[in-house]
Amino acid sequence: MSVDESEPANQAPERDPADGPPDAPRHASPVRPAIVAGLIVVVALAALTGWVGYRAYQARQQADQRAMFLQVGRQGALDLTVYDYDHVDAQVQRTLDLATGTFYDDFQRRAPAFAELVKQIKSTSTGTVVDAGIESQTPGAAKMLVAVVVTSQVNGQPNADPKLFRMRLSLQGVDGGAKISGVEFVS
pLDDT tier at 4, thresholds 50, 70, 90: low
CATH 3.10.450.50 for domain 65-186: yes
Q: What is the pLDDT of residue 179?
A: 96
* pLDDT, tens digit (0-9, with 9 covering 90-100), for 144-156: 999 999 999 998 7
List C-alpha distances in Å: 159 to 56, 60, 117, 132: 50, 44, 18, 25
Contact indicator for 127, 81 with CB cutoff of 8 Å: yes
pLDDT tier at 184, thresholds 50, 70, 90: very high
Q: Quick one: how far is CA 21 from the chain centroid? A: 69
pLDDT at 136 over 80: yes
Q: Quick one: how far is CA 57 from the chain centroid? A: 9
pLDDT tier at 158, thresholds 50, 70, 90: confident
Q: What is the pLDDT of residue 173?
A: 93
Is the Cα torsion angle 181, 126, 128, 168 positive or negative in sign?
negative
Q: What is the pLDDT of residue 7?
A: 53
Of 22-26, 109-113, 137-141, which one has max mean pLDDT? 109-113
In the predicted model, what is the mean pLDDT of the chain?
88
pLDDT at 5 over 70: no
More confident call, 4 vs 185: 185
pLDDT at 1 over 60: no
List C-alpha distances in Å: 91 to 88, 98, 134: 5, 11, 25
Q: What are the helix and strand counts (H, E) for the chain? A: 3, 5
* pLDDT, tens digit (0-9, with 9 covering 90-100), for 50-88: 999 999 999 999 999 999 999 999 999 999 999 999 999
Q: Where are the domains of the chain?
A: 65-186
Q: What is the pLDDT of residue 107?
A: 96
pLDDT at 18 over 70: no
Instruction: Please state which of the ranges 33-37, 129-133, 157-161 shows the lowest mean pLDDT.
Output: 157-161
